[in-house]
Structure 1
Amino acid sequence: MYLSAREKHIIDYLLANEEGLTIKEIADKLNVSSRTIHRDIQGVEPTLHQFELRLEKQTGVGLKLIGSVDKRNELRDMVNEIKRDEYTPEERQQLLLSILLQKREPVKLFTLAKEIGVTIATISNDLNKVSDWLEAFQLEMVRKRSYGIEIQGDEPNKRRALRRLITEKVSEEELLSLLEVHRAKSELKDQTSEKLLHLIDVKIILDVLATLHELRERGESIADVSFIGLAVHLSLAVDRINRGERIEGHLNKIEKITQTKEYQVAKKLVLLLEEKFSIEIPPIEIVYVTMHLLGAKQGDEGGLLLQETSLDLAIRTKHLIDEVGEATGVTLRGDQSLLEGLVSHLKPALFRMEQGMTIYNALLPKIKKDYKELFLLLQKKVPEIFPKWEFPEEEIGFLVMHFGSSIEGAKHKRGLKAIVVCSSGIGTSKLLATRLEKEIPEIRELTHMSAFDMSQDKVLEQTIVISTVPLPSIESYFLVNPFLSKKEVDRIRHSIHTKNWVKADNSERKAEIVGQHDEVKEWLKEDALTKLESIQQISNLINSILTQFELKAWSHLLNTNAFIQQLAQYQEEKHLVENSERVAEALIEREQLGGLAIPGTRLALFHTRSDDVKVATFTVHELPEPMQMRGMDNEEYEVSRILLMLAPEIWNKQGLELMSFISASIIESDESIQRFETGDEQAIFTLLERNLKEYLITKLQK
């Protein structure tokens, strides 16, 4: 049976979308006109008839495949077994790239034409287009008569090109399905195997995914947003090393990279991979793995501004928030979630740009279409506020998702719980969550969960699961697009009301709760007590911070290190730390990692977390005379006051969030900065007390 590449794709889409697809949706997926799809459908229908299936046209839905489950499965098996007789031009070019990037010697034009099954003229035309694509990766296609065709360039650039090929050919959802397959120990689907066939051995990816999962189970932190990208990076590294391809040369700032905690995680990971694949991995590969971890690092541990994130970045981010808010007419200042989300994304994004690393944003076309004005606005504003960096469209797209989430976010009264599962990082997850809140106000509580950690026992009663990735291990869930179409909203809402989970009004909701059995009442009680306990913890922390706060004026000044030791010794005398020498060492080490002076101010923020800190504190220290200090932007500044923030190494989430809030409030406005620069103890205490009271009120209202 002959099916063209497009006809095969059309059948795949119809089988995968039981709710139906419009002609336009199919056309957009295949990047052709609706007229072309209408013509191709005529070629598909005879195949469907052979399996006793038919296409039904429904108003508002589009084309829907009608027939028994058994016949649909037979068709799916047949389509996957058919030898592809035709490639689309895009598929041919991807196949050419995958062949040439993995060859260590030139390939003859005739050989390529024969392998792909087209004429030499067609291959020659494809190679012209492929050559342009390679330029973005600093690779050159060499074509010489009697020599052949060869891609020349550095090994890291070849790997970058291969990674892009994989992410273009195989979606994150499909790679996540590989992980699910591995966990369920079921057979690998032919379709995914076929797509990866010319790029990398599927078993390598499965083994790498298993190794990453093992490392996470041992307690090592690997952010969800980096999990899939890291799996692809490592799989390519293992495959290339097996082929004898090694990275040569040196990177800039290697010494600084080896001092990060991500480097230690990378070392453990590489050791596990050496055991798993029985290979020797060069030390330079550890550095590249570290760069990947740093380039995808997310501030999901809480206390963002207590980590290595500089306040210079937070200042710029606040400026960007104000500019976007003014341009859109939406008040965004004060949205702590937006600030933390942007800083969380921008820190690794700036690192990626400095290192020449690229990121793939599969949602970019949709973002540019649905958020056109916001995208153009950020394209204009971002370079003004971050002039040292050149932001590609992919990074702008991720920022759009954060702002879109905040702008669309609307608080509604809710009556259900929902678990949101995403694979594309915090921006996508937040965007989906806010659209759910807006479109389905019945949802009263949203939880974000990793696809890797999701299991059936996490789904409590009256909880719906909404995911952008397949979850074979979950009995019932909604598979949706991150942008949540009207059709998907209607499907979720219909399901909720069919189950009679949500009553029409508040009086009925009260009657429902009163009528619940004791076990559910106990659950509601425990839930409420847990929230009250959290609020009590925050209240106690605020009281402790305000109690220990002081503005201390110092009468004499030595060099920076000696002064830091004096600060630590003073904290020990007040019984707030146990070992002042170790605390001083931690503060000095943090200062050496990067400047601590806040750009554009006369302030410096010294902070650390240490096992020797007994009580978390925030204090202000006035210098007898200004001191020159390196700023967070590596410029020199004159500092007259030092803000000292100390916290225990192992601390609860509430504490980290509170200290992060204090850090952000320092630069919240010109008035705040001026108060910390020149205000007396009472003036600063009053400002701090007001801010912390507002913080507690927001927690009470949640």
Structure 2
Amino acid sequence: MNSRQYAIIQLLDYAESEPLTSAQLSAEINVSPKTIRNDIKELNSMLTSYDIHIQSKRGKGYLLRAKNRDHLERFFLHYAKKASTMIPVESEARVHFLMKRLLFHSDYIKIEDLLAELFVSRSTLQSDLKTVRNILQYYSLSIEHKPNYGMKVIGKEASIRFCISEYIFNQQPIWLEGQWLNILSSEELDIIREAILKNIRKHQITISDISLQNLMVHLAIAYKRIKENNPVQILKKVFYDLKDKKEYRVAQEILKEIECNLDVHFPKTEIVYLSIHLKGTKLTFFTNEAIDLEMDTKIYHVVQEAIQHIDKTYGLQLSRDKELLNNLTLHLKPAISRYQYQMNIRNPMLEEIKMKCPLSFEAALTGAKIIYKKLKIRVNEDEIGYIALHIEAALEKAKRSSVGRKQCLIVCASGLGSSQLLLHKLTNLFGQKLEVVGITEYYNLTQHSLEDIDFIVSTIPIREKLAIPVIHVSTILGDMDVLEIERVLENSVANIGDYILPEYTFFNYDFKTVHSIIQFLTSTLINDGRADKNYTLSVLERERKAPTSFGNLVAVPHPLEPGTNATFLSVLTLKKAITWGDKQVQLVILLNVNKTNKEELQPMFQSLVRLIDNKQTVFKLLACKTYAQMKNIIRTV
């Protein structure tokens, strides 16, 4: 099985009960529909031994069928184990193999050995190594060649570890056990996990499941690198900054626990390095007393000003929300530590946040300008995504008008912002019938009594058999999640068709670049007197901050700040998909926001999300040749 075929299974599994056509799968994987159909024929013969089958539903698409979920889990685990020993065939798989080979070996590796392992020509290997060098360059690393010895990765130890963490471990979902197979055994992993849990509980630190996973990844890499005599280097100033902090004491105790159970010694620099990671962890919730202790007055006032600027720009009326002010202040404190110590954080929900919470993401970008102005800290896209979660939670809370009756427990892996978002979304959608009685991390679930709980809503799969139902949802509730909880939909959305005007709808154009598309759409509005004269520059500047391609072949470009005389959408479809950021795009929706009246923004954004979140609808829109056809499709959404 090649990586492309594995990707097909992953996409079908993710789609659950929604059929995917060969055209949709081909757009996602960037191959022809014929290749997809041939791959599925091969897959069905391979999957028989797992009691898994890809069913073809005439006129609808493909569905992944398995007798039970355990069969799928067995397949995914088997593939992960097998993938670590398989000879890669495709270029992308060879590059991943070479990255692992170079990063997990401190000694020199000869090209002749790699040629023998991969069964490829020297020119093919050189081409793959060129891609590897480009990836390494992103992490400030390079490949050193030494005659008669071979090659190896060189650079700062912290950069090598970050590259291993970011590129190797974040290629797959964090819950797949197979990810760990190349770096440590399950026994070693258990020792590291228990050392972390024992000491964070001892010191009454509550972190998100993703932060726990990040700490485990960090310590696993540190353990392997130290065993190969590659300790991290830390400036003395950093050591003196941290040695009296609580995080240093906790790090010391965690590493001492690991030393007692594994044959390894961690130098002081490793204690400092773990302290930095602890300072940058995402906490999940605070008591009122903890809020008072953790609150930073300077950050508090910066956040206050950022929220006021968001309100001025988008009219969201968030300035009176004390909970949002506190939560953003508490979030920014470790975020600033991450920035100061050049420690990046990955947001696994970023793409979903951008697609399903576009207004909150734009508001977060606007707030980030104030953070930079006041603190000289550049907030990256991952951090902006987390800020957007807090804003989305506040917007959901603002809609709430009643309290609930049924009791549920939230199990959330991603920290304070996402758990608060899920809490307010649930309460807002099911306020008449639902009461969320608590929020917990997966690793702490066993410590909660489920006696009075009616059901659990979890953002991660829970395989254990529990006495009450478990509903697995996305943090940013999608339509299928809502239907599964109670088969009701939120009614407070606008009719997206009202925002699409025939004079600004364009079909089957042949543009090749992002710049030419934006230039065309914005110039049309400027020439018609609908937009400010600097509108094109504003949209391009926003695009430079973060690409507005959201997946599903859709991009939603828009200006940094509102700049038109009304709120409406300009729509353009392309003959062929183009690369937009890191995604393929064929449907472009220019979001034009009224610079004076912003009251209609939230319902319009909600209806837009419903439109672009539905893959089937996007494909129908791409097939349209007239405005009337598009309006008819939109009416059914």
Give the distance between the partners of 2:429 and 2:17, measured in 1 at CA.
20
Identity %: 23
Indicate which of 454, 462, 467 corresponds to 1:471: 462
* 1:33-72 superposed matches below 5 A: 35=33, 37-48=36-47, 54-56=53-55, 63-66=62-65, 68-69=67-68, 72=71
Give the distance between the partners of 1:250 and 1:17, measured in 2 at CA.
48
Give the distance between the partners of 1:113 and 1:101, measured in 2 at CA.
18
Shift of residue 68 of structure 1? 3.7
1:88-127 deviations in Å (ceiling 9; x for gaps): 5443323212211222222222322332444333332222
Shift of residue 313 of structure 1? 0.5
1:347 alignment partner in structure 2: 333
Q: Does 1:91 align with 2:84?
A: no
1:107 alignment partner in structure 2: 109
1:386-425 deviations in Å (ceiling 9; x for gaps): 2311221111111111111212333144221121111111
Shift of residue 227 of structure 1? 1.5
For the 8 Å contact 1:338–1:406, the answer to whether it is kept is yes
2:450 alignment partner in structure 1: 459
1:423 alignment partner in structure 2: 413
Indicate which of 356, 359, 364 corresponds to 1:370: 356
Q: Say if 1:227 and 1:443 are closer, same or farther in 2 by CA, change over 3 A.
A: same
Q: Say if 1:145 and 1:22 are closer, same or farther in 2 by CA, change over 3 A.
A: farther
1:156 alignment partner in structure 2: 158
CA RMSD of aligned residues (A): 3.4
Q: Say if 1:262 and 1:44 are closer, same or farther in 2 by CA, change over 3 A.
A: same
* 1:132-147 superposed matches below 5 A: 132-143=134-145, 146-147=148-149
Q: Does 1:119 align with 2:121?
A: yes
The number of residues matched between the two structures is 476
1:207 alignment partner in structure 2: 191
In structure 2, list runs of 5 or more residues that go unmatched: 489-637
1:500-530 deviations in Å (ceiling 9; x for gaps): xxxxxxxxxxxxxxxxxxxxxxxxxxxxxxx
Indicate which of 249, 252, 256 corresponds to 1:264: 249
Shift of residue 209 of structure 1? 0.7
1:484 alignment partner in structure 2: 477
For the 8 Å contact 1:167–1:360, the answer to whether it is kept is no
Shift of residue 69 of structure 1? 4.3
In structure 1, list runs of 5 or more residues that go unmatched: 175-191, 496-702
Give the distance between the partners of 1:473 and 1:29, measured in 2 at CA.
36
1:5 alignment partner in structure 2: 3
Q: Say if 1:100 and 1:321 are closer, same or farther in 2 by CA, change over 3 A.
A: same
Give 2:43's aligned amino acid: V
Give the distance between the partners of 2:263 and 2:418, measured in 1 at CA.
38
Q: Does 1:282 align with 2:248?
A: no
Give 1:278's aligned amino acid: D
For the 8 Å contact 2:50–2:72, the answer to whether it is kept is no
1:396 alignment partner in structure 2: 384
1:246-301 deviations in Å (ceiling 9; x for gaps): 22352433212111111111111111111011322111111111111111153624
Q: Say if 1:436 and 1:120 are closer, same or farther in 2 by CA, change over 3 A.
A: farther
For the 8 Å contact 2:106–2:228, the answer to whether it is kept is no
Q: Does 1:221 align with 2:221?
A: no
For the 8 Å contact 1:317–1:342, the answer to whether it is kept is yes
Query: 152-161 or 460-469: which moved more?
Result: 460-469
Give the distance between the partners of 2:26 and 2:16, measured in 1 at CA.
18
Give the distance between the partners of 2:335 and 2:51, measured in 1 at CA.
52
Shift of residue 86 of structure 1? 4.0
Give 1:266's aligned amino acid: A
Compute the TM-score of the two structures, normalised by the length of structure 2.
0.67
For the 8 Å contact 2:3–2:93, the answer to whether it is kept is no
1:424-476 deviations in Å (ceiling 9; x for gaps): 11122222222222333321234211111103962234521111122233423
SS in 1 for 2:305: helix
1:360 alignment partner in structure 2: 346
For the 8 Å contact 2:410–2:440, the answer to whether it is kept is yes
Compute the TM-score of the two structures, normalised by the length of structure 1.
0.61
Give 1:259's aligned amino acid: D
Q: Say if 1:384 and 1:360 are closer, same or farther in 2 by CA, change over 3 A.
A: same
Give the distance between the partners of 1:165 and 1:79, measured in 2 at CA.
19
Give the distance between the partners of 1:23 and 1:118, measured in 2 at CA.
34
2:277 alignment partner in structure 1: 292
Indicate which of 238, 246, 262 corresponds to 2:231: 246
1:642-691 deviations in Å (ceiling 9; x for gaps): xxxxxxxxxxxxxxxxxxxxxxxxxxxxxxxxxxxxxxxxxxxxxxxxxx
